[in-house]
Structure 1
Amino acid sequence: MSASTRTSFQDPSGGWDIDNLKRKGHFSMTANHFHPYYELYYLCEGERMYFVKDRAYRVKAGDMVFIDRQVLHKTSDTGVPDHERIVINYQHEWLEQAYPHDAAILVEPFRREYPVVSLPAQQLPELTRVIAEIINEMRLQETGCAIRLRHAIIELLLIAVRAKSGDHGQPAPADHGSPMHIRMIKVVQFLNEHYAEPLSLTDVAKQFTISSYYLSRTFKSATGFAFSEYINLLRLKESQRLLRETDLKITDIALRTGFDNFSHFGKAFKKMSGLSPRSYRSGSRMNAMRQQV
């Protein structure tokens, strides 16, 4: 069980929003695990395990995590209860319109190989000042709140942009040297490349010369995802892309992304996105048309 206190703010333009959440107890994320916007995650207090793309990172208070669009991710419990975090979501179109000459600079932290930025001690005061300003503005929500918050969240991006790679700023994956995690990274990378093929827990376990039980238990521990859940998410993510970007028939998309049962594909897609594949495609095209006007 966990109790939570939440404060949120959405910019009137719809281009960005902020969510500050303080949780008591233990918690692991269960919601959809990829989305079409950028996400900046800042951990105010506590400790979290954060799986991004193909490996997990142990995130501590003061760390920022940058999630690119359509990248699988998930936070989970490390065994340490209680945490507070801030999540800022940015729409790409808003960044391009609000900062037409600087958008490429501002999205750079989301494109790095390692998504976690951990600043050295001498740079933390600047970061904590901006975070404190964001929390205070969200709490008071006085006149001009959106303006102050907009400047603060862009300042966070600039802090990350200026963070140098090397000895600091780019933490290594959690337990990256352990044989178990090295093997699970290879399994994840294999699934990322072969998700459209028929895959079973037994077959993949044989591929890596381990038992099905060990793979199931260790995969969940290393990534936060159940084995079958992760494969389905990969398939559904690709199916969304094909629905947005191609004119392929929906039945062909289901087969191309690894679903051999069209009914199962439709049910899984609607459970994940809240829409049928057909409605998702129609909505995506309407949004694209609005952006061109």
Structure 2
Amino acid sequence: MGTLVRNSYYEPSGDWDMDYVKRKGHFSMTANHFHPHYEVYYLCEGERMYFVKDRSYRVKAGDLVFIGRQVLHKTSDTGIPDHERIVISLRHEWLERAYPGETALLTEPFTRECPVVSLPARQFPELKRIISGIMKEMREQEAGYAVRLRHAMVELLLMAARAPGRNDEGPAVTGEEDSPMHVRMIKVVQYLNDHYAEPLSLTGVAQQFDISSYYLSRIFKSATGFAFTEYMNLLRLKEAQRLLRESGLQITEIALRTGFDNFSHFGKAFKKMAGLPPRAYRSANRPLLTGGQES
């Protein structure tokens, strides 16, 4: 059980990378993350749940998922074992340099309300050709394979930009996830996204939504893939990163503004998540793109 095949390419400049994985058995991401680069997720085989921003989407083979910059996301198991996927990471700055007149078009899929793109059946042969080419180039690594990979990546972006969005009006899920309780979880997540800086607790939020704290904890995890406290901390730390990069606020003030009433706890949680203490993160100011995310 576990990873059967893995092939990766990391552009030396750090501007983009690709990671292909074929897994056996059940798998859910253990690293809950957001990052300053775009991410394209293509599911070759299997079925996954993908939490993005404030709701979960059921992703099936042939679907593309477009994750914007600094958007919280996580993939999890649907109960169906085995999956095969490709993840592409790329920087906005690289697109602006490489395709200055087309950057808005190529990044359009990352701005849609629904991040999942299901291409029309008539485009499947072209999509399969691109994906098969990516897998072949990463596997065989013949001369110039990085050029072929880069062209394939841009082809995918252009194809998705031209395709209609999928189910923009609501969560792209079926079955249990359409239940009233899961719909309520979307409202809970949206509430947390708007009020994370306040002194929220599981018990208080449960009372506000008229459910038990035990039930909220269980259903929240089922619907999003995150534990309640874990999700709250990630929201707060994500905003703390932004303020450290973009503002001149004192670090103690940033901790308070993002919902941490204990500065020591803030420092430890931030270092665990970002790999650097807040002051060092601010000095670095430019998080590095890291490839091969476990998704």
Per the alignment, residue 51 of structure 1 pairs with 51
Indicate the residue corresponding to 2:134 in structure 1. Answer: 134
Trace 1:148-163 onto structure 2 (pairs within 5 A).
148-163=148-163
Report the counterpart of residue 40 of structure 1 in structure 2. 40
| Residues 55, 185 of structure 1: 8 Å contact kept | yes
Q: Extract unaligned runs of 5+ from structure 1.
A: 288-293
User: Which secondary structure does the structure 1 equivalent of 2:28 belong to?
Assistant: coil
Question: Secondary structure of the equivalent of 1:181?
Answer: helix
Describe the superposition over 1:5-62 as per-residue Cα deviations: whole angstroms up to 9, x where unpaired: 2110012332100000111111100114100000000000100000000000000000
2:272 and 2:64 mapped to 1: Cα distance?
30
Q: Check conservation: 2:34, 2:69, Cα contact below 8 A.
A: yes
Q: 1:286 to 1:133 in 2, by over 3 A?
A: closer
Are the counterparts in 2 of residues 47 and 80 from structure 1 also a CA contact under 8 Å?
yes
Cross-structure match for 1:263: 264
Secondary structure, in 3 states, of the residue corresponding to 1:197? coil
Number of residue pairs aligned between Structure 1 and Structure 2 = 286
SS across alignment from 1:279? helix
1:215-245 Cα offsets, whole Å, 9 max, x none, are: 0000000000000000000000000000000
| Paired position in structure 2 for 1:291 | none
Q: Which residue of 2 aligns with 1:147?
A: 147
| Cross-structure match for 2:83 | 83
Note the 1:163-242 alignment, pairs <5 A. 163-165=163-165, 172-175=171-174, 177-242=178-243
Going from structure 1 to structure 2, the CA distance change for 1:92 and 1:198 (only over 3 Å counts) comes to same
Tell me: CA distance 1:103–1:282, structure 2 relative to 1, closer, same or farther (3 Å).
Answer: same
Maintained 8 Å contact 1:116/1:169: no
Is the Cα contact below 8 Å between 2:114 and 2:165 reproduced in 1? no
Q: Secondary structure at the residue paired with 2:18?
A: strand
Per the alignment, do residues 286 and 237 of structure 1 end up closer, same or farther by CA in structure 2, a change over 3 Å counting? closer
Deviation of the 1:173 alpha carbon = 2.2
Give, in whole Å, the separation in 2 of the partners of 1:106 and 1:11.
19
- For 2:279, the equivalent position in structure 1 comes to 278
CA distance in 1, matches of 2:132, 2:227: 36
Secondary structure of 1:135's partner?
A: helix
> Within 1, Cα distance between the matches of 2:149 and 2:110?
20
* RMSD of Structure 2 on Structure 1 (CA): 1.7
Change (3 A) 1:169 1:233: closer
Q: What letter corresponds to residue 97 of structure 1 in structure 2?
A: R
Q: How far is the alpha carbon of 1:177 from its aligned partner?
A: 3.7
2:211 partner amino acid:
I
After superposition, what is the alpha-carbon deviation per residue over 1:61-97, rounded to whole angstroms, capped at 9, x for unaligned?
A: 0000000000010000000001010000011111111
- TM-score normalized with structure 1 length: 0.94
CA distance in 1, matches of 2:114, 2:32: 22
Counterpart position of 2:292? none
**Which whole-Å CA distance do the structure 1 matches of 2:4 and 2:107 have between them?**
30
- Which one-letter code corresponds to 1:279 in the other structure? A
CA distance change for structure 1 residues 170 and 196 in 2, over 3 Å: closer, same or farther? closer
Q: Taking structure 1 as reference, are residues 286 and 50 closer, same or farther at Cα in structure 2, changes over 3 Å only?
A: closer
- 2:48 is paired with a residue of what secondary structure? strand
Distance 2:264 2:55 in 1: 32
Runs of 5+ consecutive residues of structure 2 not aligned to the other structure: 289-295
Q: What is the rounded CA distance, in whole Å, between the counterparts of 1:196 and 1:63 in structure 2?
A: 35
CA distance, structure 1, for counterparts of residue 121 and residue 18 of structure 2 = 25
- Specify the SS of the correspondent of 1:196: coil
**Deviation at residue 123 of structure 1 after TM alignment:** 1.1
Q: Which residue of 2 is the match for residue 290 of structure 1?
A: none
Equivalences for residues 19-30 of structure 1 within 5 A: 19-30=19-30
TM-score, normalising length: structure 2? 0.93
Give the % identical residues.
72
Cα deviation digits, residues 161-209 of structure 1 (max 9, x gap) = 111236x799842146420111000000000000000011000000000
Q: Structure 1: which amino acid aligns with 2:37?
A: Y
